[in-house]
Structure 1
Amino acid sequence: MIRLFKHYIPHAVILLGLLDFALLMLAGELAWQLRASQIGMDPGSLTERWQSLVGSALVVWLAMISVGVYGPNALRSLRYAGARLLVAISLAILALAMVEFVLASQTFWRSTLFYTMIFTAGLMVADRMFLNSFLGSSAFRRRVMVLGSGDRAQRVRKLGEKPECGFAVVAYLAMSDGDRVVEEAIPRSAIHDLGRFVENLGVSEVVLAMQERRNALPLKDLLRIKTKGVHVNDFSSFMERETGRVDLDTLNPSWLIFSDGFSSGRMFSSAAKRVFDVLASSLLLFFTLPVILVFALLVKLDSKGPAFFRQQRVGLYGQNFNLVKLRSMRTDAEKDGAQWAAENDPRVTRIGRFIRKVRIDELPQTWNVLMGHMSFVGPRPEVPQFVSNLESELQFYAERHMVKPGITGWAQINYPYGASTEDSRKKLEFDLYYAKNYTPFLDLVILLQTVRVILWPEGAR
């Protein structure tokens, strides 16, 4: 994997993304050449329109990222990728048509969009047909050796068996005579020279997956391996990188303290984040105010009670604030106290079910963003009653309040709707990853991927 602004991206995704961008520029150029020949016009020099080509390719590329074209399923299934590609191209063409209407260009006409769409679809599908098996081959998988044969080693094994994983385990080493979970693990005593063993296998990374490391680490061997250019990683850091979440099963305070993350440079990032929140929330409120008012009226007509729902939530540093949403439940929904939302929840009104599905009920939260109680991106704020219970049951739950809560977040795009303590635990792992590795780049990835969650609402309740 390549680490880009503290966030890990698989090599296959980087390669495919760069190749796609080049092909998108080619599609735009072919469309322009075809249209110019049809009307008997000199197409001109490429230097005259390269900016338009780059801009149009960037719009389509961002649309592809937004709808999940580079997700693990899309890299493995041509049918899945094709459906996402068609949606992405359609959204991008609409966006490009609006851009051309507002900013008339001499080298980019709406009349070329149809041809661009055809060439883009053809090139993207052909690209994936050619690279589908190649991207899943061992050429893009790191060769990993695991020190350990217990439960942690077994977890690495299960992760490595997933088709979308970016590594292949080439050997397991049993570092003690204890119970083995991975039966094929090689006893450490059977290997005379561990450094040469690693070199012969072509190992690029060694993962320390031992249950008990005290007096068990082969420090001399690890030092020799490290000096040969082989990366040595502990289990928690390895799982964080491969899964995009902090593993609570093996997490301890010392790892959080000494591992990379929570950098002081986020002061500048936080300032930029606040500027973006103010500008974006102002624009979004301006353009969506008619939508909010229309659905507020529909909520009033559909059921008795106020159109807007206000509830206390826990925000930055554990401070409470009043969250505003369009009401989607009956007014007596929480007469017995706050409850988890259930599938096909009978408390949800008819219009409420629709606005939850399409996330319209979340739009008034842009007011909370403008007021500084929330950000567009961050962990979802919970009610104080839930927070008190979860902090007593889940270790490190309070650490998620070290960043401002958001309308969307890393947990929201990676995990379905949670309605239990176990779901909260899973989402906490993603929230801690975000709090630890926050950068504006990660915010951009989350905002783009939120489009996918809106278009394909998984688990909305």
Structure 2
Amino acid sequence: MTVADLKPRPDHIEPAVPVGRLDGPGPAYELTKRLLDAGCAAAGILVLLPLLLGCALWIKMVDRGPIFYWQWRAGRNGWLFRLWKFRTMSLNAEDGGAKLAAAGDSRILPGCRWMRKSHVDELPQLWNILKGDMSLVGPRPERPEIIEQLREDVPHIEWRLTGQPGLTGLAQVRNGYSNDLKGMRRKLAFDLKYLRNRSTLGDLRLIAQTLPRCWDTSAC
């Protein structure tokens, strides 16, 4: 299945009340998580600044359009926020409507495919983490249109919204990139497993497991 002809985005998605404990280990965990997020995001921006500037310069050279691209994503409890990425597709990439990237996608800018496979295009989300829209670890934030489209085919997909969305997570480490129903269902299962069992030690373990998987041959 390819998600196409998506419905207009809502202003807010109301997550259903999940069965089981998905509300987190407690305030001590939440405080530790926030301190870890803010510290790592600030350090990451400083350390990776040369790479970020190089990517920005390349995009400007090959296309001369905006360097960054943003989308509405559903955050914790369904509230929407602007997620930032490096723009690796042409300006008219979604003129015919929003659709997921596919292998060999002609909309990708010259020399930018490696940014997508290495997930370097996601690095501007360090700013989202610093602001508190996202966390380092959690379910990947999804577009609200896609959540609405998949409610019937992927039951309880909105349960993912009970936690802070993340730059990486258990689904990314175990499942990788998915754009079909089977993959979406697997991703949801991993996301709910993470939400039921999250801990500071578990978050640190997932960050360590993410590093060797940064290059993703399945990413489009």
**TM-score for the superposition, normalised by structure 1:** 0.43
1:270 is matched with 30
In the alignment, what sits opposite 1:330? 90
Residue identity matched to 2:177: Y
Structure 2 partner of 1:306? 66
Size of the alignment, in residue pairs?
204
Question: 1:459 matched to which residue of 2?
Answer: 218
CA-CA distance at 1:267 after TM superposition: 2.2
Deviation (angstroms), 1:323: 0.6
**C-alpha deviation, 1:262, in angstroms:** 3.4
Query: Is residue 352 of structure 1 aligned with residue 118 of structure 2?
Result: no
Report if aligned partners of 1:302, 1:349 keep a CA contact under 8 Å in 2: yes
Deviation at 1:302, TM superposition (A): 1.3
Identity %: 36
1:460 partner letter = A
The equivalent residue for 2:123 is 363
Secondary structure of 2:145 counterpart: helix
Tell me the CA shift for residue 413 of structure 1: 0.7
Q: Rg larger in 1 or in 2?
A: 1
State TM-score, norm by structure 2: 0.87
Query: CA-atom RMSD, angstroms?
Result: 1.7
Shift of 1:265: 3.3
3-state SS of paired residue (1:445): helix
Post-superposition offset of 1:362: 1.2
Give yes or no for contact 1:340–1:420 (8 Å, CA) kept in 2.
no
Report the secondary structure of 1:309's partner residue: strand
SS in 2 for 1:269: helix
Q: Does 1:317 align with 2:64?
A: no
Q: Which runs of 5+ in 2 are unaligned?
A: 1-16
Contact 2:170-2:191 within 8 A present in 1 as well: yes
Alpha-carbon contact 2:25-2:198 (below 8 Å) kept: no
* Change beyond 3 A, Cα 1:287–1:318: same
The question of whether the paired residues in 2 share the 8 Å contact of 1:417 and 1:458 is answered with no
CA distance in structure 1 between the aligned counterparts of 2:195 and 2:156, rounded to whole angstroms: 12
Matched residue type, 2:219: A
Match of 1:438 in 2: 198
Which AA in structure 2 matches 1:356?
A: R
SS of the residue aligned with 1:416? coil
The one of 162, 176, 185 equivalent to 1:416 is 176
Q: Structure 1 residue runs of 4+, over 6 Å off?
A: none
- Matched-pair contact (CA < 8 Å) for 1:304–1:331: no
Which one has a larger percent helix, Structure 1 or Structure 2?
A: 1
User: Does the CA-based 8 Å contact 1:338-1:385 persist in structure 2?
Assistant: no
**Runs (5+) with no aligned partner, structure 1:** 1-252
Q: Which amino acid aligns with 2:50?
A: P
Alpha-carbon shift at residue 263 of structure 1 (Å):
6.4
Q: Which amino acid aligns with 1:367?
A: W
Structure 2 CA distance, aligned partners of 1:386 and 1:373? 19
Change (3 A) 1:263 1:321: closer
Paired AA for residue 140 in structure 2: R
Higher relative contact order (CA 8 A, sep 6+): 2
Maintained 8 Å contact 2:75/2:165: yes
Distance in 2 between the 1:421 and 1:312 partners? Answer: 22
Cα distance per residue 1:238-258 (max 9 Å; x no partner): xxxxxxxxxxxxxxx99x43x
**Is the CA contact (8 Å cut-off) linking 2:24 and 2:198 kept in structure 1?**
no
